[in-house]
């Protein structure tokens, strides 16, 4: 289980994953495999379970996994604490990034960066070196250094919060990045910056799972695969053209075509 470097493996392998919040089952048997360097879009109507999938993968304590398995680089992901997942290279960009007044963006990000280094047996880096590292990363989201002295997400606009998530992604350099509705609430300029940031960070060693309601972002971040969720399951999978078809025909089409009932609360 600790031997995760010797051979090429799937980055993520989800098998028949079921999860609930309280008494309510939300994920009803998800199967999904993500290989290194691939970008997978997960789409679906409200209530279909796509955000829950993202949160379960990050280890959100509000959800309980009731069945199935998730392997991340061959390790049992479900057995890992949220911080262990992050230290192993998994990152989720939050749909609603949390405000932490009192702690600067630089302080928070360096704390995270150093925890991940520590977990890898690397030395922590001091604030001067970190500032140097940030300089490069800030360019990814077209920001100047002044953002780093502001408190984490505190008083940030919706767009700034999402950009900050992408900045964290750039600094923490995960192997698997899950974007949970990163496009929601973004105006076109912010969307362009966020998407360009993600595209800069695409690499053969990094996979993305892009959770989104709308096809809009996928014009910028072109996926290798598109999956459509409905009622807690992946109802349909295809290439990038599926997103366009979906835009045209609407989610009802997927539900009709797959025989699944409409997403709860959609």
Partner 1 sequence: MSEAVLQDLEIRAGATIADGPDWLEPVRRAAADRFAAVGFPASRDEEWRFTPIAPIAQTTWRPSPGVAARVSADRLAPFIFGHPEWSTLVFVNGAYSKTLSRVMELPRGVRVGSLAEALRSDGSVLQAHLTRHAPNDGSPFTALNTAGFRDGGLVHVPAGLDLDRPVHFVHVTTPGAEGTAIHPRNLIVVERGARASVIESYVTLAPDVIYWTNPVTEVAVAAGSWLEHTRIQRESERAYHVGLTHVDQQRDSHYRSFTMAMGGALARHNLHVRLNDENIETLMYGLYLTRGEQVVDNHTAILHEQPNCRSWEVYKGVLDGRSRAVFNGKVFVRPEAQKTDAKQTNRNLLLSDLAKVNTKPQLEIFADDVKCTHGATVGRLDDVALFYARSRGVPQEAAERLLTYAFAAEVIEEVALEPVRNELDRLVLERLEGQRGGGAAGKG
Paired sense of beta strands 151-152 and 100-104, if any: antiparallel
- Determine the interface stretch with partner 1 among 10-18, 57-65, 135-143, 257-265 (rule: CB under 8 A): 57-65
Q: Which of residues 76-105 bind partner 1 (CB under 8 A)?
A: 81-83, 85-87, 91-92, 94, 97-98, 100-103
Contact 141, 170 (CB under 8 A): yes
Nearer residue to partner 1 within complex by CB, 20 or 237: 20
Nearer residue to partner 1 within complex by CB, 34 or 109: 109
At closest approach, how far in Å is the CB of 153 from partner 1?
9
122 contributes a contact to partner 1 by CB under 8 A: no
How many CA within 13 A on the CB side of residue 186?
A: 25
At closest approach, how far in Å is the CB of 82 from partner 1?
4
At closest approach, how far in Å is the CB of 9 from partner 1?
22
Contact 260, 233 (CB under 8 A): yes
140 contributes a contact to partner 1 by CB under 8 A: no
- Out of 58, 226, 243, 246, point to the residue binding partner 1 (CB under 8 A): 58
114 contributes a contact to partner 1 by CB under 8 A: yes
126 contributes a contact to partner 1 by CB under 8 A: yes
49 contributes a contact to partner 1 by CB under 8 A: no
At closest approach, how far in Å is the CB of 152 from partner 1?
8
At closest approach, how far in Å is the CB of 89 from partner 1?
10
CA proximity to 106, closest of 126, 78, 77: 126
222 contributes a contact to partner 1 by CB under 8 A: no
Q: Pseudo-torsion of CA 224, 213, 177, 124, nearest 10°?
A: 150
Residues contributing to the site for partner 1 (CB under 8 A): 58-61, 81-83, 85-87, 91-92, 94, 97-98, 100-103, 107-108, 110-116, 118-119, 124, 126-127, 130, 151, 168, 172
């Amino acid at each position: 289980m600790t031997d995760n470097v010797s051979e090429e493996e799937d980055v993520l392998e989800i098998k028949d994953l079921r999860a609930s919040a309280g008494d309510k089952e939300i994920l009803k048997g998800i199967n999904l495999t993500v290989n290194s360097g691939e970008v997978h879009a997960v789409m679906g109507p409200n209530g279909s379970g796509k955000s829950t999938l993202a949160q379960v993968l990050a280890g959100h304590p509000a959800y309980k996994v009731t069945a199935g398995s998730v392997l991340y680089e061959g390790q049992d992901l479900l057995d890992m604490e949220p911080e262990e997942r992050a230290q192993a290279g998994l990152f989720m960009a939050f749909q609603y990034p949390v405000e932490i007044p009192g702690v600067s963006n630089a302080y928070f990000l360096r704390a995270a960066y150093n925890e991940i280094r520590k977990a890898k047996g690397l030395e922590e880096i001091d604030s001067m070196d970190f500032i140097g590292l940030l300089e490069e990363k800030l360019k990814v989201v077209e920001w100047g250094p002044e953002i780093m002295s502001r408190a984490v997400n505190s008083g940030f606009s919706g767009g700034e919060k999402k950009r900050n998530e992408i900045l964290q992604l750039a600094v923490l350099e995960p192997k698997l990045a899950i974007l949970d509705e990163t496009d929601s609430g973004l105006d076109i300029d912010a969307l362009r910056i966020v998407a360009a940031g993600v595209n800069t960070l695409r690499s053969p060693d990094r996979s993305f799972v892009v959770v989104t309601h709308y096809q809009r972002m996928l014009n910028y971040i072109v996926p290798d695969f598109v999956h459509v969720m409905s009622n807690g399951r992946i109802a349909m999978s295809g290439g990038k053209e599926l997103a366009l078809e979906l835009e045209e025909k609407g989610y009802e089409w997927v539900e009709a075509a797959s025989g699944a009932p409409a997403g709860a609360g959609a």
